[in-house]
Structure 1
């Protein structure tokens, strides 16, 4: 498990491109036949990917957690980015199609991932947070989620947002997750930008053509920085950082949050003339 320590905005002002990428970018989320995880001290989230081939991949505990099993004191969300996958939780098997999600409650002991077709392996995005109580393991299908239409063609930000884990369809301790899809011809996400100092937010960009890129904005609102990101890469946004981006083509992204406040609408909006 890769370890990323928390950073403060004053330090980040001096980071060059390589240092920004080393601290905030997850370069290879999906590796065939592996589970790749990163532990961030930003709200102690764990994020990464599983790409099972012929054999199941077992989610084992790591010394960074110092627990007997991964979900002993954690909750977990599994989002199927592509392919068809299975998640086995304490003997029960859950099948996930593309854009389905499984919430795994705290206290679940045995978690493993598989692919319905090893020739077209599932790509399962994992996001986990500490949890102080247990909630039921629950499947959410894409069709279960009411879409919210946002943006305008003039703003090049027409997009559809779906909230999977936010206390409505699925109750969790602090984990929130959903995904957003941009319409053809739209490129901007989350602009005007916002921060929420009570939560860390992470993005996984996907559905990008191989040659396309997203210019992801982060940093303090008056000292923004950027990362150039390709398909199926993830980024950690500290609570003090804006998080927004524009692509060279339309795309989708999974957003996931953790922190003190469980209110989805708790955001500090940033006026356009405040951005620098």
Structure 2
């Protein structure tokens, strides 16, 4: 297991970043390595973004110095989305079969978390998103078909999409973690436009199910100081509260969105009028 640490960036500093610096601060390029757990600890709301890809055997989620606790989930909760082949997650001896696009919420205080693939040839790819927690709730698996599905957008605006809410209040109880998945319909390219910010929580996007030559031009930054990052398949964006988070792809794609912060209300966002964007 490897873990890197990133500091939070003030928007005044981010205005001056070049492409290399923007990518270093906000883009997580490598999430999935065979037989490895790759983690990025961000001081933006102290979230952890990562990936586990078991191929030849199970992987165990270990703690490390940045975690500061005897176990990874001693004072954290964890959301897991499988974006690969069928797999299993074993939490303190209880096995959860996590299929493609299923999500698992793992409670604070769980001491032993292990990841397995059901097939060596089609390994699971477990996307991990963790936030600090203050209470223990129930570990629960949510199938794709069980998520709250919203049909959004129009073909005229090239943003027809299905938004699925998995870990949300009323469906899965958590301390602060909120998580779901959005899939654009074929021929659609835009996500989260008109854009918004939410000062009370940060967000991370994992773009996936993209063809090798597909790219998403992810828009970020303050509404009047926008920047962009070119994102490939299985790469993630860390979006601080002051930043918009929108994107336009060269073809349709999916992304896992995950949030952590003060407020779990999904609608708590400040919309940005199109004429205000620069």
Coarse TM-score class (shorter-chain normalised): over 0.9
- What is residue 169 of structure 2 aligned with on the other side? 167
2:11 matched to which residue of 1?
9
Indicate the RMSD between aligned Cα atoms, in angstroms.
Answer: 0.6
What does 1:55-204 correspond to in 2, within 5 Å?
A: 55-204=57-206
The answer (yes or no) to whether the contact 2:194–2:273 under 8 Å persists in 1 is yes
Distance 1:208 1:120 in 2: 16
CA–CA separation in structure 1 for the residues paired with 2:68 and 2:204: 24
Give the Cα separation in 1 of the matches to 2:68 and 2:189: 42
Show structure 1 runs of 4+ deviating over 6 A.
none
Q: What per-residue deviation string (whole Å, max 9, x for no partner) do you get for residues 3-40 of structure 1? A: 01001100101000000000010001111110000000
Shift of 1:146: 2.7
- CA shift digits 1:232-274 (9 cap, x unpaired): 1000000000000000000000000000111111000000000
1:208-232 per-position Cα deviation (integer Å, ceiling 9, x unaligned): 1100100000000000000001011
Provide Cα deviations, 1:134-176, integer angstroms capped at 9, x if missing partner. Answer: 1000000011113100000000000000000111211100000
Spell out the pairing of 1:41-60 with structure 2 (5 A cutoff): 41-60=43-62
Instruction: Identify which of 243, 247, 250 aligns with 2:249.
Output: 247
Q: In 1, are the aligned partners of 2:82 and 2:102 still within 8 Å (CA)?
A: yes
What is the SS of the residue equivalent to 1:82? coil
State the aligned residue count: 276
Partner SS for 1:70: coil
Provide the rounded CA distance (Å) in 2 between the counterparts of 1:89 and 1:29: 21
CA displacement at 1:119 relative to structure 2: 1.5
Match of 1:257 in 2: 259
CA distances 1:157-197 after superposition (whole Å, capped 9, x unpaired): 00000000111211100000000000001000000000001
Rounded to whole Å, the distance in 2 between the matches of 1:146 and 1:173 is 19
TM-score by length of 1: 0.99
Distance 1:94 1:118 in 2: 18
In structure 1, stretches of 5+ residues that fail to align are none
Contact between 2:77 and 2:133, CA under 8 Å: does it hold in 1? Answer: yes
Q: Which consecutive unaligned segments of at least 5 residues does structure 2 have?
A: none
TM-score relative to the length of structure 2? 0.98
